[in-house]
Structure 1
Amino acid sequence: MNDADEHDTDAHGHSAHGADGRGAGENGSNDSGRDTGRRRFRLPRRGSRGTDRRGRSRFGRGRVIAALAVIVACLLAFHSAVPNAVGRFGSLLETFLPWLGLAVPVLLTAALLRRSVTALIALLLPAAAWLGLFGALLLPPPGGPAGIVAVQHNVSDVNADPAGTARALLRVRPDLVALEEVTPSALPAYRKALGRDMPHHAVVGTVGLWSRHPLKDVRPVDIKPREIGPGWNRGMRATVLTPRAEVAVHVAHLPSVRIGGSGFSSAWRDESARLLGAALAAEQPSRLILLGDLNGTVDDRGLDPVLAHVGVAGPGFAFSWPASFPLARIDQILARSAKVTHVRSLPATGSDHLPIVARITL
């Protein structure tokens, strides 16, 4: 065999390269074997109809997310059906009810990541329920004359700057200012700071009312729960002689609530709310304004005896407590035969509550 024949055999014969094992490994079937081995560890491709690795379609997956969306919708729409018998969980839920809306964007993100049509459809339920309850609070306030500008503020009995707090409240040019936790030591500072613009005032116990307009028929209102000892005076009323009409104004500070190992403790607050509701029902003038730290939101069923006699405020969430990170509006400005057209919170003072201000149309 000559050199040409040998070269031909090497170029076209398979035995020479096969014996050596390198040629086939570089260009032949061994490469295919390695490629196949690598492909074994790749994730299977999605099906042509959007199925996942388990063969579930966009309608078949995301059922847990959809179930959570339905639960959130039920809690929003039927919160009054949540029992208060154990730990007063119903009232606790209602105190922070608007925050349930945060579940919607969280579940929406999860539904998009899962590419679940079922979960996306289910999310329409909590979104609609939340908008039905709180959507009106997002609307801009209506125009028209203000009537009365009222400020409500729990000033805190450990407020280190009562004069500065009073000056901050006067920046909105209020007609009425209601204060709670007014201590005897701080009272002179409030009288001096508020008295220049609001010469008429009355104080009963630890609650007070300052007004641009004259007051009459000032008297205490007994909202003290039975188990609390004497000297607890947190309710008062006065008739304010506005240029347009006489208005009965109540100032109240209901007992605090607590969250502990036994749940949501609100028995004293609820008892005091019933007493306040009875006092509002007994008012002869039809036009009435209630200002106070009620230690509850208008969604909390514990305030139902009060809300039976006054209407809730208009647009605005106005969360007022705690001042460092407001989570709920427990300070309220409510009215009967008058309309609270807008309510908003004011910048922080030396208190653990934020002040709130409202426009009231008589």
Structure 2
Amino acid sequence: MSTPAIRRKRRRGARVLVGVNLALAALMLCGWIPGPVGTAVAVLLPGLGVIAIVVTLATLLLVRRAAIPASAAVAVFLIAAAPAMPAFASTPGTTSISIVSQNVRAQSGSGAASAQDLIAQHPDVVTLTELDAESRTAAADVLEESYPYSYAVGTVGVWSRHPLTDGEPLDLGLGWNRALRVTVQAPTGDTVIYLVHAASVRPGAQGARDEMLAELAATIGDDDAPRVIALGDFNAATTDPALLPLSAELTRARSTDGGTGFTWPATFPVVRIDHVFQRGFAVARSDTLRAGTSDHLAVLATLTVD
């Protein structure tokens, strides 16, 4: 039997938990603020969502009438996380292009192993980022027989079963090349590929990354190609405000395997910083896979056209 003293204790506990929930909601709302605050909240968002759900359930167990204020953080989380939610695969079109991308982690010696694991998926195009001289050579030795067409710039490279044309390096305001643009003559028709390895983000230092992503979005906005794929290591979580300009130009290939789609760190992924964006396709498959010894999971997408 619930005594008045117990009910008062429950109400006090519920008020504290509601306060925590409202604070979580306010924190998650900060995820729409461009710059370091939005970036930090985007990285923390999955964990904040789990905490919000646990706190909400605990509140409901104490006082059911607190359901509405207690659910504020969960509602904000669901809205904020919507772009990262899994999606249903589209109905396969008449022709398709499959493409895979991985950050192989410089100095890890993962170039050959990653390439071997990736070609086991039989993609049309393999793209690698954070290549050093040794890993680029090792990957090329594995890929060149099945993927005779290639184009590499700086720390990024593309290998394809189909001819590549119009390759050009992109510095995207960084001052040195960590991105490229190339056209693949695929069965789906000529498709422009943008491969990017965005600058790293550290506390107090993310301006270079933000500029690269803004420049990438502007470059793609000026590109009138009907079929475009932009992929690689963006060093930005799915809900990071820095990706909003790019999301206005292209559609992100959301996970179709029902999983989180997280890519880093590979041993226990907690955030997705490797992405595939597209224009002119339907997404028949989008998932992640372990390849080599890199600290990033690879991302794989199969895109179709009618």
- Please give the TM-score of this superposition, normalised by the length of structure 1: 0.75
Aligned partner of residue 251 in structure 2, secondary structure: coil
Aligned partner of residue 65 in structure 1, secondary structure: helix
Taking the aligned partners of 1:83 and 1:208, their CA distance within structure 2 comes to 30
Given the alignment of the two structures, is residue 148 of structure 1 paired with residue 100 of structure 2, yes or no? no
Offset at residue 98 of structure 1 (A): 2.7
Given the alignment of the two structures, is residue 246 of structure 1 paired with residue 190 of structure 2, yes or no? yes
5+ residue gaps, structure 2, are none
Aligned partner of 1:237 in structure 2 is 181
Aligned partner of 1:177 in structure 2 is 126
Question: Following superposition of structure 1 onto structure 2, how do residues 68-217 of structure 1 map, counting pairs within 5 Å?
Answer: 68-76=20-28, 79-80=31-32, 82=33, 84=35, 88-108=36-56, 110-111=58-59, 115-134=62-81, 137-145=85-93, 147-217=96-166
Return the match for 2:202 from 258, 263, 269.
258
Given the alignment of the two structures, is residue 64 of structure 1 paired with residue 16 of structure 2, yes or no? yes
Taking the aligned partners of 2:202 and 2:280, their CA distance within structure 1 comes to 33
Offset at residue 57 of structure 1 (A): 8.2
Aligned partner of 2:294 in structure 1 is 351
Offset at residue 215 of structure 1 (A): 0.8
Taking the aligned partners of 2:284 and 2:69, their CA distance within structure 1 comes to 34
CA contact (8 A) 2:198 2:234 kept: yes
- 1:56-95 per-residue CA deviation (whole Å, 9 max, x = no partner) reads 2866751111122233334445631x474xxx22221123
* Greater Cα shift, 332-341 or 138-147: 138-147
Amino acid at match of 2:15: R
Taking the aligned partners of 2:47 and 2:133, their CA distance within structure 1 comes to 38
Taking the aligned partners of 2:114 and 2:205, their CA distance within structure 1 comes to 30
5+ residue gaps, structure 1, are 1-44
* Greater Cα shift, 181-190 or 137-146: 137-146
Structure of higher CA gyration radius: 1
- Please give the TM-score of this superposition, normalised by the length of structure 2: 0.87
Taking the aligned partners of 1:178 and 1:152, their CA distance within structure 2 comes to 5
Aligned partner of 1:322 in structure 2 is 265
* Greater Cα shift, 166-175 or 339-348: 339-348
CA contact (8 A) 2:92 2:284 kept: no
RMSD: 2.5
Aligned partner of 1:297 in structure 2 is 237
Offset at residue 170 of structure 1 (A): 1.2
Offset at residue 290 of structure 1 (A): 0.4
Question: Following superposition of structure 1 onto structure 2, how do residues 10-25 of structure 1 map, counting pairs within 5 Å?
Answer: none
Amino acid at match of 1:129: V
CA contact (8 A) 1:151 1:356 kept: yes
CA contact (8 A) 1:340 1:360 kept: yes
Given the alignment of the two structures, is residue 309 of structure 1 paired with residue 249 of structure 2, yes or no? yes
Taking the aligned partners of 1:237 and 1:91, their CA distance within structure 2 comes to 26
- 1:168-204 per-residue CA deviation (whole Å, 9 max, x = no partner) reads 1112111111111122222222112112222211111
Taking the aligned partners of 2:43 and 2:229, their CA distance within structure 1 comes to 22
Offset at residue 284 of structure 1 (A): 2.7
